[in-house]
Amino acid sequence: MQALSQMLTGGRPVVAVALLASLLAGCALPLASESELETESGKQFAKMRAELVVSNDVQVRAYINCVSAAVIRELERPYSDKDWDVEVFESDDINAFAMPGGRIGVYTGIMKVADNQDQLATVIGHEVAHVTQQHALNRVNREMTTQAGVIAGSAVLGGGQATGQLLSMGAQLGLSLPYGRGQESEADVVGLKYMAAAGFNPQQSIQLWKNMTQKSKLGPAPFLSTHPSGDTRIQDLIRQLPSALKLYNDAQAAGKKPVCQP
């Protein structure tokens, strides 16, 4: 999410933090709702589409959409009912993300480490799990309540418009920050269930993170900088494999056998 962070904050998150911290403390803080965060996410997703290079490779787009659609079908409601918007960005960066409101962004560089549909499904499942578990919403509200006390209420700020601007700023800042380790671990577990239930082989998740680890030795990548990898993560996934394999076998028996080709 490093690229998204730079897009949202212009590479100057400290300025946003300082502005929030300078506001008068002592009044109740207006917390963001999921619908407000979805609106803000929509704006930022549109901005990325306008400013980044969108891939025109029909085959690559079809491949990523095929994997994404299979995973999305396994989400719980209301997330499975959303009309998810999947965009593919032409970039060597190893990066992917999902945003509240049903938005997925995949950088073509992710295929440097995701060698097949099962490994790509691991990435998509992980990112979508951040949305279904409301990690961004929790992070936004955490950031809005920890910036040097409490943001001043609407009476001091001059009404709802100013309050809305602060909510927008807090949402932008929260969306741009990396997830915590606890959230990453939860996304690993939940995402593994999604991809396995869709009929993708969960054993391939281990190889994906081995590929990530190997790639991290060759140079930094945005995805790796915000998604901790290593032996501990792989061991955690191995412990989840028995339950994930049961989901996978049940999916295969039910005829869920995705055939998504790069």
Distance CA 113, CA 118 (A): 12
89 contacts 108 by C-beta, under 8 angstroms? yes
Residues 6+ apart with CB under 8 A from 119: 113, 204, 205, 207, 208, 211
Exposed e or buried b for every residue in 160-191, given b needs 16+ CB within 10 A?
eebbeebbebbbbbbbbbebeeebbbbbbbbb
Q: Which residue has the tokens 């992070």?
A: 139
Q: Which residue has the tokens 């691991």?
A: 122
Q: Is the peptide bond preceding residue 228 cis, with omega within 30 degrees of 0?
A: no
Please give the helix or strand (H or E) that residue 183 lies within, else none.
Answer: helix 181-197
Catalytic residue among 36, 40, 127, 184: 127
Q: Please give the span between the terminal C-alpha atoms of the chain, in angstroms, as a whole number.
A: 23
Neighbours of 19 (CB within 10 A): 13
Please give the helix or strand (H or E) that residue 193 lies within, else none.
Answer: helix 181-197
Tell me whether residue 127 is one of the annotated catalytic residues: yes
98 contacts 133 by C-beta, under 8 angstroms? no
Which residues are marked as active site?
127
